[in-house]
Structure 1
């Protein structure tokens, strides 16, 4: 049997977690030196409300001790394991998992433990995990699932922006000067998770939502295979507490980009990423080459 595991960075809805029996490793969200855990003593609505009141949040990573205990228990049961981590360019969780993998496979040389860097976050990471669970239900082998996931990671595109640069500044990801100037000019950065290292890069900047959506169109084409965005796929939008912008972005993909309305999914941006972006944030996930990725392809 195969055990599919991800972490709180994936923002998977509880009903999906239960449906596919996916295990979620916890990532602590910290405020005022107190650890909070999603589903136990914090939720995104509460966090965003507190952030608007000036409370600063940060995150840790899945602890090594927790991983070691969980992975070892499943190896003892004879399970094969796939763990899809939050992007290594965002968190140290992936590197920690690799060190645990080395230790455990020395102890259990016949065990199978695959660690996959999602090079992603929120529902980008979540959709990869769902694909893993679906393939597992189909009875695919461990190696077949891993190969499919690697193809998805290679082709997945992530664009996002924030409406208030203050939160990026608080998290140390932006200088005070840039934050002040950006705020005065209503600048929205266009950010991208590059696919080689999974790091966040700023690739453009605009003033206002309409300009942002126009640039999204340009970059969606630039980053797609053969320089042309394929509308025959599922688009996933995640927002913090910015539903109006999410709905406008969905409308844009339907009317201007040719995506079917039912194929644009809006989901919540959870605490792990939201702690760094703030409530005014939206992420866009799509595939550069959907024909090679079944979960993103839409049948005609």
Structure 2
């Protein structure tokens, strides 16, 4: 007899405080290192951004290995496993989880493990995990939860706002000359998660006020569907600014649940300070 359905996810997700404990999530961390030194999450994100400012190169982020996932799966030998993975368009985490599934099933073909490519990350990935947990709480069998997980991931949406392009320059994703011009012109990037799970630039907007207004406009264009869905914002800015954005969204789209999270080091490596991620699932 199956004991339960266990959700395993990874460090690409940015969770609101208390959600992993409430939902019984097992999180396989991604690795973030400055040089050869792993970043200690207990130091907090302000220390993380300070380290970035004093280094000429960005910290390195590395996916969990297949063995990391195998060890996680083996901690729950009697459970069905649902893996909610960071987008395959952003990381090899999904592929490593699939390899781990194949390795475990070679040893025990009777186990049931499904790996979901969320095609998103940060708070978007967290919301997919949360919605799947709700399906489990509703008493649905594993196959139904898996079907729901695919549908939730496909129906989710994620928008990004970058206040600084400094990390993109350091990471080699934007050349230094273009970065300098963008800084002088006060250019902000407004992006979204594509259907393929990559991050694509939607617009380059002058000024923060204009960029945030455009983000909310784009949310409206996507329909901002609230029916039975949840909304989340992950950020590396002020709580006041986040509340202002939420108020403007909720005035038009009354989502049934709203979550706020801090951007963690994986997403923060590229987003930098002042970044905002808005997702629904």
TM-score (norm 1): 0.84
Rounded Cα–Cα distance in structure 2 between residues aligned with 1:282 and 1:126: 15
Asked if structure 2 preserves the Cα contact closer than 8 Å seen for 1:242 and 1:282, the reply is no
Counterpart of 2:65?
63
Does the aligned pair in 1 maintain the 2:16–2:259 contact within 8 Å?
no
**Partner in structure 1 of residue 204 of structure 2:** 205
Q: CA RMSD in A?
A: 2.2
CA distance in 1, matches of 2:47, 2:191: 26
Residues 159-198 of structure 1 mapped to structure 2, 5 A cutoff: 159-195=159-195, 197-198=196-197
**Structure 1: distance between partners of 2:87 and 2:160:** 15
1:240 maps to 2:240: no
Deviates more, 1:123-132 or 1:53-62: 53-62
Q: Which runs of 5+ in 1 are unaligned?
A: 288-300
Partner of 1:268: 262
The secondary structure found in structure 1 opposite 2:210 is helix
1:144-192 per-position Cα deviation (integer Å, ceiling 9, x unaligned): 1111111111111111111110011112222222211111111111111
Paired residue total: 276
Partners of 1:94 and 1:119 lie apart in 2 by 10
Task: Note the C-alpha offset of 1:198.
Answer: 0.5
Quick one: structure 1 residues 262 and 102, their matched pair in 2 at CA, closer, same or farther if it must change by over 3 Å?
closer
| Structure 1 counterpart SS, 2:111 | coil
Alignment of 1:127-146 (within 5 A): 127-146=127-146
> Against the structure 1 CA distance between its residues 73 and 239, is the aligned structure 2 distance closer, same or farther, given a 3 Å change threshold?
closer
Whole-angstrom distance in 2 between the partners of 1:59 and 1:118: 19
1:61, CA displacement in angstroms? 1.0
Q: Deviations over 1:213-254 (max 9, x none)?
A: 332244224333xxxx44665432211134443233223324
Given that residues 156 and 280 in structure 2 are in contact (C-alpha distance below 8 angstroms), is that contact kept between their aligned partners in structure 1?
Answer: yes
Secondary structure of residue in 2 paired with 1:203: strand
Q: How many Å apart are 1:14 and its aligned residue?
A: 4.9
Task: Quickly say closer, same or farther: Cα 1:119–1:262, change in 2 above 3 A.
Answer: closer
Q: Which runs of 4+ in 1 moved over 6 A?
A: none
How many angstroms apart in 2 are the aligned matches of 1:151 and 1:259?
21
**Equivalent-residue separation in structure 2 for 1:206 and 1:212 (angstroms):** 5
**Aligned-partner Cα distance in 2 for 1:65–1:239:** 31
Residue 90 of structure 2 aligns to a residue whose secondary structure is: coil
Quote how far apart the aligned CAs of 1:71 are: 1.6
| Structure 1 pair 103–263 and aligned structure 2 pair: CA distance change class (3 A) | closer
User: Of 30, 34, 47, which residue of structure 1 is paired with 2:33?
Assistant: 30
* Cα separation, partners in 2 of 1:210 and 1:52, compared to 1, 3 Å: same
Q: Which residue of 1 aligns with 2:246?
A: 250
Contact (CA 8 Å) 1:48, 1:241: kept in 2 or not?
no
Is 2:12 aligned against 1:9? yes
What are the ranges of 5 or more consecutive residues in structure 2 without an aligned counterpart? none
Aligned-partner Cα distance in 1 for 2:24–2:176: 44
